[in-house]
Amino acid sequence: MRKGTIISVGRLKIPFWRDGADYYRRKLRHTWKFKEIQLKDADGGLSVEQRRNDESARISSVLDSLPGIRSVCLDERGETLTSKNLAELILSCAEQALQPCFIIGGAYGLTPELLKSAGKTLRLSSMTFTHELARVILWEQLYRADSILRGTGYHH
């Protein structure tokens, strides 16, 4: 069974987003064991920069406690991969005995320092999504990558 981690800021408060993420999480449970770490949003009274700094610092703290991972930050300025490329990235992690750790920041993203320290920075699209939608898309793409690696008919 493959293992991985998703670190995200904020809860999926709206049932629509929770249901979407849960749908793909359940589909993956037979081949993947994902640890999902949800961090609380920073205080809304802080400035955008302070919020981003606070949330990124807490993400870095979690990353420091996770041995044997390859961190993959999701950011609008990251590299665009196809679904097949994502499957190859996951396979390369397995070949290096590393677990992929996907990181989704809060509403204001991640600090440049955290992005630079990541093993990889990806963007899901040239368009901007809410961090809630990004989580659902990430779960779907992980399911699709798993389907590609297993050779099932989901990806065609």
Contact present, 110 and 52 (Cβ < 8 Å) = yes
b/e string for 43-79 if b means 16 or more Cβ within 10 A? Answer: eeeeeeeebbbbbbebbbeebeeeeebbbbbbbeebe
Mean pLDDT of the chain: 96
User: Residue 131's pLDDT is what?
Assistant: 86
Neighbour-count burial of 139, counting CB atoms closer than 10 A to its CB (0-12 exposed, 13-18 middle, 19+ buried) = buried
Residue 86 is inside which H or E element, if any?
A: helix 83-95
Per-residue pLDDT, averaged over 74-102, amounts to 96
What does the alpha-carbon distance between residue 3 and residue 34 come to, in Å, rounded to a whole number? 6
User: Residue 43's pLDDT is what?
Assistant: 95
Residue 76 is inside which H or E element, if any?
A: strand 69-80
User: Residue 128's pLDDT is what?
Assistant: 87
User: Residue 156's pLDDT is what?
Assistant: 82
Torsion over CA of 25, 55, 107 and 33, rounded to 10 degrees? -10
User: Residue 155's pLDDT is what?
Assistant: 86
**Domains of the chain, with CATH numbers?**
2-149 (3.40.1280.10)
Per-residue pLDDT, averaged over 128-154, amounts to 95
What does the alpha-carbon distance between residue 143 and residue 152 come to, in Å, rounded to a whole number? 11
User: Residue 29's pLDDT is what?
Assistant: 95
pLDDT tens per residue across span 14-33: 999 999 999 999 999 999 99
What does the alpha-carbon distance between residue 47 and residue 96 come to, in Å, rounded to a whole number? 40
